[in-house]
Amino acid sequence: MESQVDQLKVIFLPFFLAPSHQIPMADTARLFAMHGVNVTIVTTSANALLFQKSIDRDANSGHQIKTHVLQFPSAQVGLPDDIENFNTATSLTDMVPKLFMGQSLLKKPIEQLFQEMQPDCIVSDIFHPWTVDSAAELGIPRLVFHVTSCFSFCAETCVVQYKPHLSVNSDTELFLLSGLLNKIEMTRLQIPDIPDEFNQIIILNKEAEQRSYGAILNSFYELEGAYEELHKSNTGIKTWTSVGPLLPNSVRAVMTLEQSLSISTLNKLSSLANKRARQAAMASANSTD
């Protein structure tokens, strides 16, 4: 283990509103800690429940990892307590705008945390574009975290750059996604209809990504290495995918336990079947006598 003086300090800032973004980032943060990095994951009270047990287990094992829990401003934005992400929202139409507002109100305390902790690097979700400026003020790198695959980014680039959907005459006619490594066809109906306000968010996110040091994608090279190289070529952004195993140790442990239990159950059933077969044979022999 590195000394406290030499140990890198990295803050991980997930997208609070989506567990599908938070859990992969937490697993990635745990991998950093396993390699000797001092890790802090910024989260909120209800969201911390998604991964706190894993973080505590790693910390008890000697890894320098912890969560910094912020109070989500539910009352300020008109939300009930413990509604802090899309999964817990009972009305998406009413609550999603309030959730986004609540997350935006956390920007100031998060910036204060950056100043207090003086990290060596910030790893933040794509939905926190403002952190590229925070990192620049501190003179440190910002890494963007994506939960999207390299292939999907390459497909998006094809649609945006070449606009093949404009070459067909109907919404159901197939068009080819030129520029990909495989023959992929789709229709206009398969292209998501993105609202203008959300499209503006995407543009801001991509502009901030271009100014960042690089990006971490929740994928691995053996799965889509060729598309990782194509994505790097398309964007010119440093990209890392192979940051850890396909399955976290906790998942593999559960699978091993389930496999062990299954084998044990099969052995018991086999033993019971053999016992019954012997009993049947003995009963048959006795009746013959």
Tokens 């022999």, located at residue: 285
Ramachandran sector of residue 139 (left: φ over 0; alpha: ψ -120 to 50; beta: rest): left
Look at the alpha carbons of 80, 87, 64, 104 in this order and tell me if their dihedral is positive or negative. Answer: negative
Asked whether the beta carbons of 135 and 119 are under 8 A apart, the reply is no
Choosing from 125, 128, 146, 231, which is the catalytic residue?
125
Look at the alpha carbons of 193, 197, 198, 202 in this order and tell me if their dihedral is positive or negative. Answer: positive
Asked whether the beta carbons of 157 and 182 are under 8 A apart, the reply is no
* Structure tokens belonging to residue 75: 């009352």
Alpha helices, DSSP H, located in 127-248: 131-138, 150-162, 196-210, 221-235
**Rounded CA gap, 118 and 149, in Å?**
31
In the residue annotation, 21 being an active-site residue is answered as yes
Strand partners, 13: 124
* Structure tokens belonging to residue 115: 């100043």
In the residue annotation, 193 being an active-site residue is answered as no
Q: What residues are annotated to the active site?
A: 21, 125
